[in-house]
Chain A
Amino acid sequence: MKKLLPVLATCLAAAASAAPASSDEPLDPDKAFVPTARLVATAPAAAGTGERHGIDVEYRIEPGYYLYRNRLKFELHPANVLTGPPEFPPGIEVDDPFLGKSAIFRDRVTIHIPFAVSMARPGHYRVRIVAQGCAEDRICYSPFVQEVAVNIPPGYRVMDFPATQAPPAAPRGLPR
């Protein structure tokens, strides 16, 4: 009998704690959606193609929260590195009865912002992000701004395409 009491107490405690604290304030967006940035160089995807360089912005998203894929916007400051359009993973497709099909990100996601190394100047940069997201079935955040730092070190001047090849076309969306 005495041995059973702790088991019973554990069961009752589990029952009591199972109901979520639903009246809690939602998380601050900077805690619900945590971005970090790092400089990346990826190996050539195929023979004859150059390395890919850019910035990976990784979001860590709290359970029960999500970001809208098509509402994420990125800018690099100062703008003396020309970046291409961000490369998003497909995300999780959702079908909204009013807005139609869209995609969201949960848990973790990495967005790649490409740049041409030959145009990169060493220095300290800030990636300015405008994001929108929600806490499931509860609230949504109006567009919020976040910034993450990234450093391009001196000497970061490797060629991003073989010297014998013609330079790749300028990425779409770059100013001409």
Chain B
Amino acid sequence: MKGWLPLAGIGLLAGLAGVSLWLADRHATPPAIEAGPVDASPAAIQSALFRDGDGAPRSLGQFAGKVLVVNFWATWCTPCREEMPGFVKLQSRWQDRGVQFVGLAQDDPAKVAAFGRELGVNYPLWLGEEGVMALSRRLGNRLGVLPHTVLLDGQGRVIESRIGVFAEPVLESRLAAITGK
């Protein structure tokens, strides 16, 4: 009978620990997960046309030679907005090491500009119509969800494609591994 008590205590503690973990994790943001297969050539990725805040045409090819972090996002997407402060910090830390961030959105240009100003976004926020999500889907985003972040090498080849919030430390370690810096 007495032998029960320690075991019962351990069992109870294990149960409580599990419940505590669950409660703590309920509101934690799950990590970004790997997207599906890519169906876009580097040439198609680099030549896809977008426009900047002034309406001028832009394409990812203008950053050839750099490691690109291409982030598909929208102002109405709360998880997208939550990960962007981390991208701003990483752009500052990695811009001299051959890394360039670009945000792509199919969204209201005025809202994109306002959010960019409010957050102090230090990388280009480009816009497009259906072509934005079409490219995202071709880069593995089967479900058409946001945020979707794609790492490209200097030739426009896909290194990694992830959906969900890309946490700053995780992305930074990926950039270190990719650039060797």
Q: Which residues of A contact B (CB under 8 A)?
A: 1, 4-5, 7-8, 10-12, 14-20, 22-26, 28-29, 68, 71, 96, 98-99, 132, 134, 137-142, 144
Contact = CB atoms under 8 A, between A and B. Distances in A.
A7 B30 CA distance: 31
Interface string B145-156: 111000000000
Given A14-B18, A23-B30, A139 B147 contact: yes
Contacts of A22: 25, 28, 30-31
A91 to B, nearest CB: 15
For B12, B25, B31, B76, the residue with the greatest tally of chain A CB atoms inside 10 Å of its CB is B76
Contacts of A99: 75-76
Contacts of A18: 18-19, 21-22
Nearest to B35: A25
Contacts of B79: 134, 137-140
Contact of B133 (A20, A137, A142): A142
A29 B143 contact: yes
A1 B31 CA distance: 42
B78 A4 contact: no
- Give chain B's interface residue range (CB within 8 Å of chain A): 35 or more
For A15, A24, A96, A144, the residue with the greatest tally of chain B CB atoms inside 10 Å of its CB is A15
B178 interface: no
Given A1-B3, A23-B30, A26-B143, A140 B25 contact: no
Contact of B80 (A1, A12, A140): A140
16 contacts: A11-B12, A12-B14, A14-B15, A19-B21, A20-B22, A22-B25, A22-B31, A98-B81, A98-B118, A137-B29, A138-B79, A138-B165, A139-B77, A139-B146, A142-B136, A142-B145
A4 B17 CA distance: 19
Contacts of A139: 77, 79, 145-147, 163-164
Query: Which are the 4 A-B pairs with shortest beta-carbon distances?
Result: A15-B18, A22-B30, A18-B18, A11-B11
A44 B115 CA distance: 48
B21 A142 contact: no
Interface string B19-38: 10110011111110100000
A71 B76 CA distance: 10
B15 A11 contact: yes
B144 interface: yes
A19 B25 CA distance: 7
